[in-house]
Structure 1
């Protein structure tokens, strides 16, 4: 399993070479092995790298190295620039990591996220990441007509694995709060190029799992560079 913070590949001067594209790869499954969302996200990154060899990848494993719940004091310093002199060492470490999370997102042109559906929604580790990434004045702002997205121009690819059947038209569709939540989040911050590839019903039977994975991998193989 990859380490939590594998940096973008740079040259001897610390710069990305040529027309390199920064890709942020995130995994969230608590399964170190046997995870379909990890398999799908790795396949998506592999596909994009084959199509565009100039891609430089930064990897975060939010399950192996979780961020933890966002606290009031760290939020005030991270999002609002409040005084940090009263923060303890743990809070200072959290603040530094929160800054890295935001910076990684801001400098990335492509974001690939492997997401399993847990209890009808996203893993808590992904919610903690989102809490550090959604910052007023950085990824969105407030205007007279509402929220204004500041993250335009980014491409986000979500690889979603769901144990049951939650697709449109299914009896459980109204219980699906992972894809719907992520679409709301990324749309709110201005992401217009959002692609969601789903493997549905993967825990119902081995046959449905295999068929769902085959369909997802076919969609991944068709991803444009």
Structure 2
């Protein structure tokens, strides 16, 4: 039985397109893998605090004394990284906010980016430790950023997520994109229709992979 971690980060609740897309992705995945265990994380409702001196406890030297606040923050980091490492498939809702990902999603990434857990440094450079997973990102954008080099240079959403998950050693990172959502009802309808087709394609491709390809 595989494990799927479903993450939403949009602040728009029921009006969120990225939330709509992640729900469709998870439903499509479960249709092909009915025994999949799904864990849900709503980062807008339960946002880990941004990194501070207290929340860097997981990087403290062994045996270092921690305050109660540091212990509490360290427990949050440990819970999040353990949940991430236990998942075979991660579905991430990532709207584009001011050319990048939501700060609450960045806060989650900062908690799971732990040396010795999701990556390590060697004499030859960094090595990812969380390989073998499938990540499917639901990307929602008000404008269009994929059709020109100038527009692509302005987005630090998909490019960042591709980089950070790759740094963790994950090579199977897929994107379901709905863009131009703020450019009128016709453009929004076309974007959603395209995204729905992409969901079918991406979940079917992932479903047809050998299980070893998506095992943690």
Deviation at 1:79, TM superposition (A): 3.0
Q: Distance in 2 between matches of 1:180 and 1:205?
A: 26
* Alignment partner, residue 94 of structure 2: 115
Deviation at 1:170, TM superposition (A): 5.7
2:47 aligned with 1:66: yes
Deviation at 1:83, TM superposition (A): 5.0
* Alignment partner, residue 174 of structure 1: 153
- Whether the aligned pair in 1 keeps the contact of 2:140 and 2:179 (CA below 8 Å) is yes
Q: Distance in 2 between matches of 1:177 and 1:168?
A: 15
Cα pair distance change 1:86/1:149, threshold 3 Å: closer
* Alignment partner, residue 31 of structure 1: 12
2:184 aligned with 1:185: no
Pick one of 185, 191, 196 that aligns with 1:206. 185
> Equivalences for 1:1-225 in 2 at 5 Å?
20-75=1-56, 77-80=57-60, 85-89=65-69, 91-169=70-148, 171-222=150-201, 223-224=203-204, 225=207
Supply the RMSD in Å over aligned alpha carbons. 1.4
| DSSP 3-state at the match of 1:183 | helix
- Whether the aligned pair in 1 keeps the contact of 2:120 and 2:128 (CA below 8 Å) is yes
* Alignment partner, residue 7 of structure 1: none
* Alignment partner, residue 213 of structure 2: none
| DSSP 3-state at the match of 1:125 | helix
Name stretches of at least 5 consecutive residues in structure 2 with no aligned partner. 208-216
Normalised by the length of structure 1, the TM-score is 0.86
| DSSP 3-state at the match of 1:113 | strand
Report the number of matched residues. 204
Q: Distance in 2 between matches of 1:152 and 1:210?
A: 35
Cα pair distance change 1:32/1:82, threshold 3 Å: farther
* Alignment partner, residue 10 of structure 1: none
Farther-moved stretch of structure 1 (144-153 vs 102-111): 144-153
